Amino acid sequence: MKTIMSLIAGVAVSVLAVTPVWADYPERPIKMIVAYSAGGGTDIAARTLSQYIEKYLGGTIVVENKAGAGGEIGFGALANADPDGYTIGFINSPNVLTIPIERETSYTLDDLAPVANVIYDPGAFSVRADSEIETLADLVEFAKKNPGEVTYGTTGVGSDDHLAALAFQRQAGIEMTHIPFKGNVDVRAAVLGGHVMLASMNVSQTIADHREGTMRLFGQMSNKRWDGADEIPTFKEQGFDIIMGSDRGMAAPAGIDPAVLAKLSDAVGKAMADPEFLAKAKAQNLPITFMSAEEFAAHLVKLNASYQKLWDENPWSGAK
């Protein structure tokens, strides 16, 4: 973790002294890579936030979707871009951390320079509204009577959605069948279309469907209820001690000038404090959780160690 820890120290220093050569940054459009499909939770957050980053940073930000392989394609494209400040992107935990743990990839955490965290979104389970399964207890009862017949969709192997479902199966003593997709838009479509029975995706991505009556949301995987969905009980309230969710933050390629990294992080912080952005975030069910570059980098280092330990004890690759 030498590279990422060096960045933490570098950001702190650069806040005090911005390198003159970057005084006019940005001088051309910035590309923002989203590693998931258009219309999903990360994509919505990116497109909403980007206009406010532009306001405080200056210049233009162009969002580019590079979906596939649970986020690996987009994360790799970000990590391997020129570290000139003109390519940034969203990184999602745990995917950005778990993918390099489980297989060879074109990037590791050391190849990324965290800019700021934007969202923490608790995990959730939901089904189509006309499903005969109405509660978590019903799900467990059905799965025990029909091992492997419950199909569930996620955004990929090693995603928070997948790890959450594996944890639930272990606690409940059941077996379900995993169907991975490119993004939560595809998971939602598969459930609504009757192709899979259960969606394992974040609460912000399914609360609107729940309130509209097209999907039924069982619970949220957090210590306490998110205030944007306070009518939905936690899994812990229902007897399942599962805490799982996803950070959606921003990063740049490692090697970026610390002064530019600091300027980006500052602009994101100001954008996220903008009252107009906060109103839009609330309307779009975005659970905002800001961390500075230093805070987010330290958080990712800690998370990476915990996921490595989990992998060493109980590998999730190949698990249903």
How is 286-319 classified by DSSP, letter by letter? --EEEE-HHHHHHHHHHHHHHHHHHHHHS--TT-
| 87 assigned to some structural domain | yes
DSSP 5: H
Conformation bin of residue 285: beta by default, left when phi > 0, alpha when psi is -120 to 50: left
What's the CA angle centered on 237, arms 183 and 215, to 5 degrees? 40
| 278 assigned to some structural domain | yes
Residues 117 and 7 both lie in one domain: yes
**Would you state the structure tokens that stand for residue 92, as one six-digit string?**
């999602």
Q: What pLDDT is stored for residue 56 in this prediction?
A: 97
Q: What pLDDT is stored for residue 144 in this prediction?
A: 97
- pLDDT tens-place string over residues 4-55: 555 555 544 444 444 444 568 999 999 999 998 898 889 999 999 999 999 9
- pLDDT tens-place string over residues 124-181: 999 999 999 999 999 999 999 999 999 999 988 888 999 999 999 999 999 999 999 9
Residues 234 and 252 both lie in one domain: no
**E strands along 191-312, which residues?**
198-202, 215-221, 245-253, 288-291
Residue 61's alpha-carbon distances to 31, 42, 256, 266, 278, in angstroms, are 6, 16, 17, 16, 19
Stretch 286-291: mean pLDDT, rounded? 92
> Which residue, of 201, 221, 238, is where some domain finishes?
238
Q: What pLDDT is stored for residue 1 in this prediction?
A: 54
Residues 117 and 127 both lie in one domain: no
| 320 assigned to some structural domain | no
Residues 153 and 225 both lie in one domain: yes
Distance of CA 188 to the CA centre of its chain: 16
Stretch 229-249: mean pLDDT, rounded? 94
Residues 151 and 222 both lie in one domain: yes
Residues 81 and 28 both lie in one domain: yes
**Containing structural domain, residue 219:** 122-238
Q: Please report which residue ranges of 146-257 form alpha helices under DSSP H.
A: 160-172, 184-192, 207-212
Phi, psi of 241 (to 5 degrees): -85, 75
Residues 32 and 82 both lie in one domain: yes
Residues 232 and 176 both lie in one domain: yes
The pTM of this model reads 0.79
Q: What is the CATH classification number for the domain harbouring 154?
A: 3.40.190.10
Supply the angle between the helices 2-16 and 258-273 in degrees, to the nearest 10: 70
Mean pLDDT of the chain: 91
| 318 assigned to some structural domain | no
Stretch 258-285: mean pLDDT, rounded? 95
Number of domains in the chain: 2
Residues 156 and 21 both lie in one domain: no
| 153 assigned to some structural domain | yes
Is the CB of residue 287 less than 8 Å from the CB of residue 119? yes
| 263 assigned to some structural domain | yes
- Which of the pair, 198 or 317, is modelled with greater confidence? 198
Q: Is the pLDDT at 280 greater than 50, yes or no?
A: yes
Stretch 283-304: mean pLDDT, rounded? 93
Residues 127 and 233 both lie in one domain: yes
> Which residue, of 175, 207, 238, is where some domain finishes?
238
> Which residue, of 238, 261, 287, is where some domain finishes?
238
Residues 192 and 230 both lie in one domain: yes
Residues 157 and 222 both lie in one domain: yes
Stretch 99-125: mean pLDDT, rounded? 95
